[in-house]
């Protein structure tokens, strides 16, 4: 079965917001930091979402609602009944659909202005190397260690920031890996590829639905700030170099500082260029 790829024509870039857009995005335009130029940058942006499950579902909905002009979503799975406890972009009537097709249908109903490319396959290294450089931000909404590392390697090579989250049971974490910032770590700095953990999936251990929804929404928030440039605005701060950890039992946040590793096999200098004392 060949991969499903649905990609309507890309929208043009209008000179200004029309009346319907002014109304649709009015609650953002009322923010002190958010002007029409900011919204235009969002409408012209391209975000890649890897995974249309517990994290990807709410992230996709908020990206579309905010007006991210082009969204590519890639996922190899179909909608199952057990997904519906937390994967809010899908519906009972779409059980059996490819998740990306189900997500595209939902996003069209939320905001028909958004162009959605739905790719029904796994995101492997070859696909990421080809398609990731055309994006301005990547949302890592996967639950596989090897896929996270493939995303990281492609993003470092293309200089594209990654908004990464994970949730399992009652615990979750969120950060941004931004290769454009010299001191910011990449995923391999924090989780070395040669130290793979025991794979743990919510299919075996469960996950608290509002927890995964919270993290997916926050991923969208970080992506939107990166796409508009608001992460660098006065009073704003990116999550690059910071790892947020959330205990869903008590809704308690813990923040850890993270730095780039000089010997990182992905974002560090080539072995022959490293200086050893």
Is residue 141 flagged as an active site residue? Answer: no
Q: Do 151 and 140 touch, CB atoms closer than 8 A?
A: yes
C-alpha closest to that of 111 among 37, 58, 60: 60
C-alpha closest to that of 150 among 175, 167, 130: 130
Beta-strand relationship, 46-50 and 115-119? unpaired
Number of separate helices (H) and strands (E) present in the chain: 10, 9
b/e string for 111-142 if b means 16 or more Cβ within 10 A? beebbbbbbbbbbeeebbeebbeebbbbbbbb
Which of 135, 141, 202, 264 is the catalytic position? 202
Q: Do 138 and 48 touch, CB atoms closer than 8 A?
A: yes
The secondary structure element, H or E, covering residue 174 is strand 171-177
Nearest-angstrom CA–CA distance, 141 and 27? 27
Q: Write out the catalytic residue numbers.
A: 202
């Amino acid at each position: 079965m060949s991969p499903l790829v649905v990609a309507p024509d890309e929208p043009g870039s209008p000179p200004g917001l029309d009346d319907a857009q002014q109304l649709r995005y009015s609650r953002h335009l009322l923010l002190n930091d958010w002007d029409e130029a900011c919204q235009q940058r969002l409408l012209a942006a391209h975000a890649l979402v890897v995974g249309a499950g517990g994290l990807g579902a709410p992230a996709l909905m908020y990206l579309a609602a905010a007006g991210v002009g082009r969204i590519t979503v890639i996922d190899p799975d179909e909608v199952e009944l057990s997904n519906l406890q937390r994967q809010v972009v899908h519906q009972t009537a779409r059980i059996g659909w490819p998740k990306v097709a189900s997500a595209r249908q939902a996003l069209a109903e939320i905001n028909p202005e958004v162009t959605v490319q739905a790719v029904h396959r796994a995101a492997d290294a070859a696909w990421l190397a080809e398609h990731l450089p055309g994006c301005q931000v990547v949302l890592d909404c996967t639950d596989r260690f090897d896929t996270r590392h493939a995303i990281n390697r492609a993003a470092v090579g293309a200089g594209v920031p990654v908004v990464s989250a994970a949730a399992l049971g009652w615990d979750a974490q969120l950060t941004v890996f931004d290769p454009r910032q010299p001191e910011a770590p990449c995923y391999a700095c924090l989780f070395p590829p040669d130290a793979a953990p025991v794979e743990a999936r919510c299919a075996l251990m469960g996950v608290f639905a509002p927890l995964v929804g919270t993290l997916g929404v926050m991923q969208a928030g970080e992506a939107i700030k990166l796409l508009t440039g608001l992460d660098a605005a006065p009073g704003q701060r990116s999550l690059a170099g910071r790892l947020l950890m959330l205990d869903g039992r008590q809704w308690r946040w813990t923040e850890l500082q993270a730095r780039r590793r000089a010997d990182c096999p992905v974002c560090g200098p080539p072995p022959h260029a490293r200086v050893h004392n």
